[in-house]
């Protein structure tokens, strides 16, 4: 696997690819502060076109409204990452791309990124599909790149766990 992935990310993406391919399902990605790392991880597995339907880095309001089709009014009183806004984004992206699943995150990766005092490392991660869930967490990390990697790992882990639970 590519050297840009951690060992855990390699194991997770391999597992996810096997599960989705066996079930004939597709996944979409809507990521913000991970900057495309979730998609890159999923696409690193040979044969990714069998299970990856597309995605977007929806880092700005413009990208969320234009690429993902989320109404701008949903963000009218935006004061940082919330699980509810992320769930709406994931549902919209999953429907637009005709996917069975959508995984993503929206967070604050680096110092100075916080809104209203929110710390770097705060992120909502989630999955939409047969199993839907979101969670808000804080990594406690101030380093932007380290948070991007952690957001990716946590998102992949949540997707894998949801797929396993749905297959249960």
Beta bridge pairs of residue 128: 102
Rounded to the nearest 10°, the torsion over CA 40, 71, 79, 135 is -50
pTM of structure? 0.93
Residue pLDDT, tens place only, 5-43? 999 999 999 999 999 999 999 999 999 999 999 999 999
Instruction: Provide mean pLDDT across the span 95-114.
Output: 88
Beta bridge pairs of residue 92: none
pLDDT-derived band at 69, boundaries 50, 70, 90:
confident
- The CATH code of the domain at 7-139+155-167 is 3.90.950.20
Checking if the pLDDT of 134 tops 80, the result is yes
Checking if the pLDDT of 118 tops 80, the result is no
């Amino acid at each position: 696997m590519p050297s840009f992935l951690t060992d855990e990310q390699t194991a997770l993406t391999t597992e996810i690819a096997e599960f989705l391919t066996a079930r004939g399902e597709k996944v979409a990605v809507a990521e913000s502060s991970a900057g495309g790392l979730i998609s890159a991880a999923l696409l690193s597995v040979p044969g990714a076109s069998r299970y990856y339907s597309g995605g977007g880095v929806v880092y700005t309001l413009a990208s969320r409204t234009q690429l993902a089709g989320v109404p701008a009014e949903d963000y009218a009183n935006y004061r940082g990452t919330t699980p509810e806004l992320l769930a709406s984004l994931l549902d919209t992206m999953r429907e637009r791309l005709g996917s069975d699943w959508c995984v993503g995150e929206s967070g604050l990766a680096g110092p100075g990124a916080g809104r209203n005092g929110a710390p770097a490392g705060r992120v909502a991660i989630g999955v939409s599909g047969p199993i839907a869930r979101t969670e808000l967490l804080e990594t406690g990390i101030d380093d932007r790149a380290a948070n991007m990697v952690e957001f990716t790992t946590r998102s992949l882990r949540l997707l894998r766990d949801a797929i396993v639970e749905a297959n249960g």
